[in-house]
Amino acid sequence: MSIPSHTQLMLPLLQTLKDKGDSARPRDLYNEIAEQFNLSDEDRNGTVNVGTRKVNAFERRVRWTRQTAVLRGLISKDEPSVWRLTETANATLGNIVRGSILTVAISENGAFLWANAEDAVGVIEKGSVQLICSSPPYPLLHPKAYGNVAPAQYVDWLTRFFEKWLPLLTPDGSFMVNIGSCFKEGSASQQLHVERLLIKLEDELGIHLLQHLYWHSPTKMPPLQWVGIQRLRVTPSVEPLLWLSPNPNAYGNNRNVLREYTPGGLRSIAKPRLAPRPSGFSFGAGSFTDKGGSIPPSLLVATPCGAEEVRYRKAVRAHGLVPHPAILPAAVARFGIQLATDPGDVVYDPMCGSGTVAVEAIKLGRKAIGSDRSHAYLESAMLRCQAEKVEMNRVGVGPGFSAGSLQFSA
């Protein structure tokens, strides 16, 4: 007999109560929850011995899940015969409360968790993740719907996350983190949060900067005050992509990201130019051979309006939802994943938003997990999966998730 775990049952229980007007009797919930998991008759009606009597195993587990929800303040404890959502639960159906970790979707190659980034680490096996790739909120001056931290607290806030994420990495694993530049309040000068973060990570956590990568967005909107009105600055169209690791010799393979040769490169292969260059640098006889492509530079050109992003926004709007306002371009995620991992490796995005990193990782043959505190953004990530034809089943459709060394607790 195989029935869902307490973790898997939590979200369907809360959502079913929400759909019934925030309250219902237990007997009115069991069948609807069972249907969401496509339970067989055997699993729905199977029994276990409790003392001297037999009880329905599935219904018993739902009741235990309700008890957990009561302890977390999500279901009222006042009326055992009528289960009622609390105000806290109604709020957490948007953003989950600290300490709760709920599996939203799962497949053979990935999973989405509804959890705060500092909590999700508790269900990921230590030493199993090859790459943690994410685009955390920037330290913007004005609050955003997805949540952001004020500049004064930003570096300490993000450093605490890195400290929690460190144990998840394999011995040669790494981080790939996109953190944009921001202007100071009321000033035409920029904040130094990226520089301060890099120094703090190395000094306090021993995390090295492997390389500064950058992505250039031709469609980047400039800060109007300093660029468009006063004309003091130019458009800051380049954002850092920090490649970091506690291991200074962490894994990377630029053969995975080779570009097509330029016409000039093809001419050099066909007829090598061995004469010394104006700089005095000279080449050997084997310098110009076909290696399958040219090694790319550290500057990527990508826009959050590419084909993948267009498909995502169309799918989300078609379902009456609001797209995530700050999307990491699929091309940027794809480059980082290919550079720092191989097929079969595990990639984790602890602040997954629209699901870009997880979806691109699965498309590239990696195992992926994404977590986010917002249920609405996880719903949009599921729609991204559909748009990109990536298999991801809602909780209950599947035996559970196991990807090599990565395992989720029941």
CATH architecture of 101-258+295-407: 3-Layer(aba) Sandwich (3.40)
Question: What is the CA 227 to chain-centroid distance, rounded?
Answer: 32
What is the model's pLDDT at position 230? 93
Predicted confidence band of residue 140 (pLDDT cuts 50, 70, 90): low
pLDDT over 60 (residue 89): yes
What is the model's pLDDT at position 143? 46
pTM for this one?
0.74
State mean pLDDT over 359-364: 96
Share of the chain above pLDDT 90, in %: 48
Ranges for all domains in the chain classified under CATH 1.10.10: 6-92
For tokens 């093809």, name the residue: 266
pLDDT in tens, 27-65: 889 988 888 777 888 888 899 888 889 999 999 999 999
| 43-47, 101-105, 403-407 — most confident range | 43-47
For the chain, the average pLDDT equals 86
Predicted confidence band of residue 1 (pLDDT cuts 50, 70, 90): low
Predicted confidence band of residue 394 (pLDDT cuts 50, 70, 90): confident
Q: How far apart are CA 340 and CA 322, in angstroms?
A: 32
State mean pLDDT over 346-364: 95
Which segment of 48-52, 97-101, 231-235, 399-403 scores lowest on mean pLDDT?
399-403
CATH architecture of 6-92: Orthogonal Bundle (1.10)
pLDDT over 50 (residue 409): no
pLDDT in tens, 277-317: 777 777 766 677 788 899 999 999 998 888 999 999 999 88
pLDDT over 70 (residue 324): yes
Ranges for all domains in the chain classified under CATH 3.40.50.150: 101-258+295-407
Yes or no: say if 351 and 116 are a contact pair by the CB < 8 Å rule.
no
Predicted confidence band of residue 146 (pLDDT cuts 50, 70, 90): very low
Predicted confidence band of residue 264 (pLDDT cuts 50, 70, 90): confident
Amino acid at 212: H
Predicted confidence band of residue 145 (pLDDT cuts 50, 70, 90): very low
What is the model's pLDDT at position 358? 96
State mean pLDDT over 98-103: 80
What is the model's pLDDT at position 400? 36
For tokens 């040769």, name the residue: 261
Yes or no: say if 353 and 324 are a contact pair by the CB < 8 Å rule.
yes
pLDDT in tens, 210-261: 999 999 998 888 888 899 899 999 999 999 999 999 999 999 999 999 999 8
pLDDT in tens, 175-217: 999 998 888 888 999 999 999 999 999 999 999 999 999 999 9
Q: How many residues does the chain have?
A: 410
What is the model's pLDDT at position 92? 59
Predicted confidence band of residue 148 (pLDDT cuts 50, 70, 90): low
